Amino acid sequence: MKVVAFNGSPKKEGNTYQALKLVADELEKEGIEVEIVHVGNQVIRGCMACGGCGRNKDEKCVLQGDFLNVWVQKMKEADGILLGSPVHYSGIAGTMKSFLDRAFYVSSSNGNLFRHKVGAAVVAVRRSGGLPTFQQLNNFINYSEMLVPTSSYWNVIHGTKPGDVVEDGEGTQIMRTLGKNMAWLMKLVENGKDNVQEPEKEGKIFTSFVR
């Protein structure tokens, strides 16, 4: 089994990376491969709402010039997905948000590519804004019918300078617990595939508050 993790921080090995690594270490102890992809240092345009991915049905965003379509396929092939972001003005870092908007729109427009994968989010923050950012990341996971492992608290870890988060005793425990629970849930899903029938997928119903 494999997990692909996305580091939404501009810093390659800052506190967001350290948080992901704490989770990854526990997954690897259980024999699960983890690949950490650095998204936050890339130039990624936001979604243009053109609908091209839905019309073409080729599991690709029509925008060119970045690695988004490569990453979407990594997510499709993985058994689990980890999303990590620092906090920018009490929200997801901009580059990470652009990536998520496009990747998850490609997924939903092509039959929900990430449905029933195990998915979790982690956040690194200096002081405040961790919970709003965590909730924003979870919006993508929940919308995609992914399966969410929990931890002993919300998945937020604190630090300022790169590496500070390893001094956050409770935060590091949260990440370790998340990794253990994620590994366990992934194994339950894998072992249950041949024994428990997957619920039938329904076609999406779109409504508005106008008509």
Average pLDDT over residues 137-146: 98
Q: How many CB atoms lie within 10 A of CB 54?
A: 12
Q: What is the average per-residue pLDDT within 94-102?
A: 98
Q: How does pLDDT run across 34-62, given as a tens digit for each residue?
A: 999 999 999 999 999 999 999 999 999 99
99-129: per-residue pLDDT in tens?
Answer: 999 999 999 999 999 999 999 999 999 999 9
Q: Provide the residue type at 18 as one letter.
A: Q
Give dist(CA 172, CA 158) in Å, integer.
Answer: 9
Its pTM stands at 0.96
Mean pLDDT of 140-157: 98
pLDDT band of residue 211 (cuts 50, 70, 90) is low
Range 2-193 classified under CATH 3.40.50.360: yes
Mean pLDDT computed over 173-202: 96
pLDDT at residue number 204: 86
Mean pLDDT of the chain: 96
Q: Could you state, in order of their start, the residue ranges of all structural domains in the chain?
A: 2-193
pLDDT over 70 percentage in the chain: 100
33-38 and 80-88: which strand pairing? unpaired
Q: Partners of 157 in the beta sheet? A: 124
* Mean pLDDT, residues 172-197 taken together: 96
CB 8 within 8 A of CB 114: no
